[in-house]
Structure 1
Amino acid sequence: PPCGRRRGTVLLVEDEDGVRRLSTRALESAGWRVLAAASGEAAMQMLEAEPGPPSVLVSDVVMPGMDGTQVVRAVRARHPGLPVVLVSGYSESAALEGLPEEDLHFLPKPYTLRQLVARVEQLAAEAAR
């Protein structure tokens, strides 16, 4: 990003340490501030400590405790219309089951870090319009 300007904040919820670390590094090197949570519960605590809404939520679907769909509902209850990227090794229909479709995007695992960054940037740009 120009002049090292921050692009916004991504709330990243991923229970796999390696995936979370790599995704965080990729997003940060693209200029994003990342709130990286190992669980849905941790994500909600981080969100409460934040002064404003994140730009984009990226969450794994299948996690112990609070799963991705519960995270999306809880975050959207606070920040309606927040763009969401759900990542999963399962099919899109299984991952998005029971969730409202708007501003919900699916990224199948395994994904490349470039795909993740591009998807986040695309959603943030659309939301800014």
Structure 2
Amino acid sequence: MNVLPRGYWCECWTQNLDRDQRPALHASFDAYSAAQADRWIAVALRTISPALDTAASEQAWQWLYEGRIETRRALVRAESCSVAVDQAGTRITWTVRPVIFLPLVHRQNVELPACAYEFKPRASD
């Protein structure tokens, strides 16, 4: 029996709080353990913290010192988590969701489904 690998899908979003703009995705990462997922956030926060204003830096370090363990526990329980920092009218949010990674089909020596042959490349201009 083939067991599908479980993991975590991690994303980093920003949103301008002063203007009513939609969030923008800046990064995504596939983690294969709770430790790897929360480490991704921790590295990002440690990296940007020197450039943050005082309040945002305090938000970052509060999560690093106090909130990180609860995030890890939630991830181990297969719960989604998010961490946010507000900097100069912009909210930076890291999200982590538990996922099941589906393997891709190897294309050599395998018959593709019929629909694969219905694809017609667009003519070049």
TM class by shorter chain equals under 0.3
Q: Which has the higher contact order (CA 8 A, sep 6+)?
A: 2
Higher strand share: 2
TM-score normalised over the length of structure 1: 0.24
TM-score normalised over the length of structure 2: 0.25
